[in-house]
Amino acid sequence: MFKELNPLFHSELRLGIMSLLLSVEDADFVYIREQTGATAGNLSVQIDKLSKAGYIEIEKTYKGKVPCTLCKITPEGVKAFEQYVDALKSYIHFKDE
């Protein structure tokens, strides 16, 4: 039986952001942009979508005098991500069979 895939993770960029944040405690906007290669505008939009879904937390802070946006995955985000990976596995296993 297929599990339903979370449509929020269908996007390559949103999935990339979630995967990155899963393996760190927090990361700043510049680092996420470097790792994903996304444009600042697109990244900003996708981060906002994940934040509105409650999957990530955003903290506006400063590095010296430079503004800095810190992103962190929430427990809800971790749970949604795990469910997504479980659902993905069920699809892959079906295709292998």
Partner 1 sequence: MNNMEDRKINEKESLELIAQMIRNTRNKLAVGSGRPFLLFGYVGVAFALVIWLLLRATDAWQWNLLWFALPLLFWPVVIRIYRNMMNKTTYVDRIIKYIWILTGFTIIIACGFTLIFVRMESLFFSALLLGMSTALTGLAVRIPPVAIAGIAGMVISPAALWLQDENRLLLLAALFVLVFVVPGHILNYKSKTAN
The residues of the shown chain that bind partner 1, judged by CB under 8 A, are 5, 9-16, 19-20, 22-28, 30-31, 34-39, 42, 45-46, 63-64, 85, 88, 91-92, 95
Strand partners, 39: none
Residue 76 beta carbon to partner 1: minimum distance, rounded to whole angstroms: 18
Closer Cβ to partner 1, 16 or 57, answer by number: 16
Residue 3 beta carbon to partner 1: minimum distance, rounded to whole angstroms: 12
Closer Cβ to partner 1, 34 or 76, answer by number: 34
Residue 14 beta carbon to partner 1: minimum distance, rounded to whole angstroms: 8
Q: Quick one: tokens of 70?
A: 């810190």
Residue 18 beta carbon to partner 1: minimum distance, rounded to whole angstroms: 8
Question: Measuring CA to CA, how many Å separate 75 from each of 8, 9, 18, 55?
Answer: 16, 16, 12, 8
Per-position DSSP letters for 37-96, written without gaps between them: ---HHHHHHHHHHHHHTTSEEEEEEEETTEEEEEEEE-HHHHHHHHHHHHHHHHHHHHHH
